[in-house]
Structure 1
Amino acid sequence: MRILLSLITAFFLAAPSSVAAQARTSLTGLGGANEALAWQAVGRLDADQTGFCTATLIAPELVLTAAHCVYSSKTNQLLKAEDLTFRAGLRKGKSAAERKVAQIEAHPGYDPKQGVSAKNVRYDVALLRLAEPIPTHVLDPFIVHNAELSKGPVSVVSYGRGRAELPSRQSVCRMYEEYRGVIFMDCDVTFGSSGAPVFSHKNGRGQIVSVISSIGVSQGKRVTYGMVLPPLVADLKRQMRANATQPVAAARRIRIGNGQSNRVNSGGAKFVRPGGS
């Protein structure tokens, strides 16, 4: 199969309210509190003065999104972690939980300078470590589907133009092809939907089978593109561990007798408690 990628939708864009834009999508807004409750681990990823994408909590401290969401569209440079905020379950201005980002890891296979290509779609995934975990009693993270993919119905929960303050869900769309790590779907997405989770519902609660990368044209048809996730997420977790900031051990003085500080001649060695505290 020959993949033709023709960009229709900009990836990372602030989404002002627009009734006309909302009318062009078949997504259903999760306006009711009970209806939205099951999807609160999906949130809006905001970049200061840049725009937003959709992202999903997959562990108390880990958020999954698209790689192009963490690069500046103007400079192609990685955004600063401190400029990103994850707003889980954002709905009408209120979040179920809100956290700043402490670490960004985009897949090394993604090249922000390359633009839209089959290779970039294949690796368009990033993992974010939150500055503070969101406890599981507050939000239940979604898990990444780790079994063989099969064609069939999926669903998408996302934010977007005209619905920046309200998540929307397309309960049924179709994943109809996978080619060299790129997944072809007919899901209805729009500006801001980049990074949105694509769910399979074969085993009870939804599991993430892909992430929305872009919209394009393949063989004359409008197509939504995603990627095969499990190996990429595994790569990113290893990358995150390798690049994590190591704690600095703090030397402590030994206090003797009346508690006054006494220097101990130890041949240059420093005494630290286990754990570096």
Structure 2
Amino acid sequence: MPAIVIALVSASVATAQEATSRLKGLAGENDAMVWQAVGRLDADETGFCTATLIAPDFVLTAAHCVFSPRTGEVLATEDLTFRAGLRNGRVAAERAISQIEAHPRYTPGTGVSADNIRYDVALLRLDSPIPTHELDPFLVESRAFSPGPVSVVSYGRGRAEMPSRQRVCQMTDQRQGVLLLDCNVTFGSSGAPVFSHENGRGRIVSVISGMGVYDGRKVAYGMSLPQVVADLKRQMRANASRPPAAVKRVTVGTRVSPESRNGAKFVRPGGS
């Protein structure tokens, strides 16, 4: 594989190549409604990235979006806010974050490498679900995706208040889980969903990790998702905070009743 020169596509980086002629701003309300499950992930410390609702309470984005560039540590949940369908100051839904899980094989602060791109994925739990009658989550493609046409919906520098869609770009190659795309990305596009349209409504086949030069060509980088997202869902379940156990009082007595056949009366919450 030729040497890879990459700039991460986060809002805090200073320079980028942007060709807006290939992008369509989702200004029309009907057009924008189709993509409202894509939103802006705002971080108090680092700016913003793009993220996508993939279940009523789960949001998918790039791992480097949830790390502090100053400390290299995962951001606090209270520092992040997901604004679904943000368009000119209005949102379809807005939620705080209650849990952050970055893939354990993503290593912040070690520079950009093919291995970091491969695992540059994070899964976030919303503090309360967004009902499906309000927003329909996008599905993550469960099988490997071959090179071919894709589309990207993202926020970015110069279009931070309204998502744009590149209706057709190409996944040109895949090397050991790293996807090469000719899609137009800029700062803020990190975590943006890459959609396949093979089976009707778009399915997410990758998220944008960065941009750079590959074999003399300007490209965007993503990753193969099925195994990485499966890893993150297991990690999310394993690390989820568990509700406190319900407490039941036991009173010992001598009178036998239907509720206390063995002299023990169980008092349930809300009743006796």
Q: Which runs of 5+ in 2 are unaligned?
A: 253-265
Distance across 2 between alignment mates of 1:190 and 1:113: 21
Mapped contact 1:43–1:87 kept (Cα < 8 A): yes
Deviation string 1:192-227 (CA, Å, 9 cap, x unpaired) is: 000000000010000000000000111111110000
CA distance in 2, matches of 1:230, 1:273: 44
Residue in structure 1 matched with residue 260 of structure 2 by the alignment:
none
| Structure-1 residue corresponding to 2:38 | 42
Distance 2:179 2:221 in 1: 6
Question: What displacement does 1:45 show?
Answer: 0.2
| Matched residue, 1:79 | 75
Match of 2:158 among 115, 140, 162: 162
- Residue 7 (1) aligns with residue 6 (2): yes
TM-superposed CA distance for 1:272, in Å, is 7.9
User: Among 121, 125, 142, which residue is 2:121 paired with?
Assistant: 125
Aligned-pair distance for 1:107?
Answer: 0.2
Could you tell me which residue of structure 1 aligns to residue 180 of structure 2?
Answer: 184
Matches of 1:49 and 1:244, distance apart in 2: 25
Alignment-mate amino acid for residue 196 of structure 1: A
**For the Cα contact (< 8 Å) 2:18–2:185, is it kept in 1?**
no
Give 1:7 shift.
2.5
- 1:150 corresponds to which residue? 146
| Aligned with residue 224 of structure 2, among 228, 239, 242 | 228
Q: Which runs of 4+ in 1 moved over 6 A?
A: none
Deviation at 1:29, TM superposition (A): 0.5
* Structure-1 separation of matches of 2:62 and 2:21: 21
- Using structure 1 for the length normalisation, give the TM-score: 0.87
Asked if structure 2 preserves the Cα contact closer than 8 Å seen for 1:82 and 1:101, the reply is: yes
Using structure 2 for the length normalisation, give the TM-score.
0.88
Rounded Cα–Cα distance in structure 1 between residues aligned with 2:205 and 2:267: 45
Identity over aligned pairs, percent: 65
1:248 to partner: Cα distance:
1.4
The gaps in structure 1 that reach 5 residues or longer are: 16-20, 257-270
Select which of 222, 229, 236 maps to 1:240. 236
Q: CA RMSD in A?
A: 2.4
SS of residue paired to 2:4: coil
Partner of 2:58: 62
CA distance in 2, matches of 1:180, 1:198: 18
Question: What do residues 35-77 of structure 1 show as CA deviations (whole Å, max 9, x unaligned)?
Answer: 1010000000001142000000000000000000000111111
Identify which range, 204-213 or 107-116, moves more after superposition: 107-116
